[in-house]
Amino acid sequence: MRRLKWLLVCGARPNFMKIAPLIRAIREHNRKSACKIDYKIVHTQQHYDYEMSKVFFKDLELPVPDIFLGVGSGSHGEQTGKIIIKFEKVLLREKPDLVIVVGDVNSTLAAALAATKLNIKVAHVEAGLRSFDRTMPEEINRLLTDQISDFLFTPSPDADGNLRKEGVAANKIFMVGDIMVDSLFYHKRQAQKSSILKKLKLRPKEYALLTLHRPSNVDGKEGLSRIMKAVKAVSQKIPVVFPVHPRTRKNLKVVSRQSLVGSIRIIDPLGYLDFVQLMMNARFVMTDSGGIQEETTVLGIPCLTLRDNTERPITIKQGTNVLVGNDPKKIIKEADKVLRGKIKPYRFPKYWDGKTAVRVVRILADNL
């Protein structure tokens, strides 16, 4: 019997939603195939310690990680360096056939670098996405990870095109669909059982949902003030529910309290299932998250993205997404359109069907 040994690396909340479908697909593969895959989850603890992220592991039915690196917060260079040092020791001990990295956080690049330098094959899930904004740390992580990975699994045709323009060999590129959609489809029924609407005394389609976490939006007083000015105006027409990221909560203190007057409901961060329930029932969503742009497209929920660019242009071309930046006029104008029932037509992109992880595991098992 042939056996393969894989390490799956995660480090921040968005990674958990991408790792969970892969684990289900590996288990399914092992039930059906003579080629068995032994896997371990490596949690770098880049953003959250396990206790803080435990609700996500529970909601996503993720097993407790096998290996914790205990990296913690720090500057981009400090985090990346610590992960490389600690993960290299894991690689030398475990001797895997493959390292799977997902997304675009510091853990993604650091783990890929450590593995590549030891001649261990690397698979990057969610490859080829580009915002073309090199001031974003995530863009640097994407570019470099894709250059050193052996298998590049992309969510959409534009991602394939980006990789080909950058000189990546065609035999390394596989368009498989969006792995975030796998988690959404798998957990949608569970999320519908959430009592979060009842708890918050909300009715479907009678509120808007807001998320903010990107440094460019929340670390500067001017940008955050412009967004909150627009949100205040929107909240006078429809209540706005705002689960506040810890980074954002700290920085809201510098914003004029007057900006927060209105029907803005500030709540603590939510688990995955509660958040999906809120998102499914929102009239529209305002966000600077990449993953939410994908999820709203699949759910058919209008999405106003509070950024000037996106690495997921397919959510604009085919989905429900509209870029509004931090311009109050644009935000209010697009919110008013939705409130008047002017919703752009949308369709599911190819392979956004909940089977992305199955394709990834099959391709890897066949090629390793």
Q: What is the CATH number of domain 187-339?
A: 3.40.50.2000
Annotated catalytic residue 187: no
Quick one: CA torsion of 28, 29, 35, 39, rounded to 10 degrees?
-70
CATH code matching the domain that covers 3-177+352-367, chosen among 3.40.50.11540, 3.40.50.10860, 3.40.50.2000, 1.10.274.50: 3.40.50.2000
Exposed e or buried b per residue across 313-338, where buried means at least 16 C-beta atoms within 10 angstroms of its C-beta: bbbbebbbbbbbbbbbebbbebbebb
* Cβ contacts of 59 within 8 Å, gap of 6 or more: 187, 190, 271, 272, 273
Q: What is the spatial distance between Cα 308 and Cα 280, in angstroms, rounded to a whole number?
A: 25
Where in the sequence of the chain do the CATH 3.40.50.2000 domains occur?
3-177+352-367, 187-339
Three-class DSSP category at 178: coil
The one catalytic residue among 29, 124, 213, 245: 213
Q: What is the spatial distance between Cα 10 and Cα 188, in angstroms, rounded to a whole number?
A: 22
Per-residue pLDDT of the chain (368 residues; tens, 9 = 90+): 679 999 999 998 889 999 999 999 999 999 999 999 999 999 998 776 565 577 888 999 999 999 999 998 888 999 999 999 999 999 999 999 999 999 999 999 999 999 999 999 999 999 999 999 999 999 999 999 999 999 999 999 999 999 999 999 999 999 999 999 999 999 999 999 999 999 999 999 999 999 998 888 887 778 888 999 999 999 999 999 999 877 787 778 766 555 555 689 999 889 999 999 999 999 999 999 999 999 999 999 999 999 999 999 999 999 999 999 999 999 999 999 999 999 989 999 999 999 999 999 999 999 98
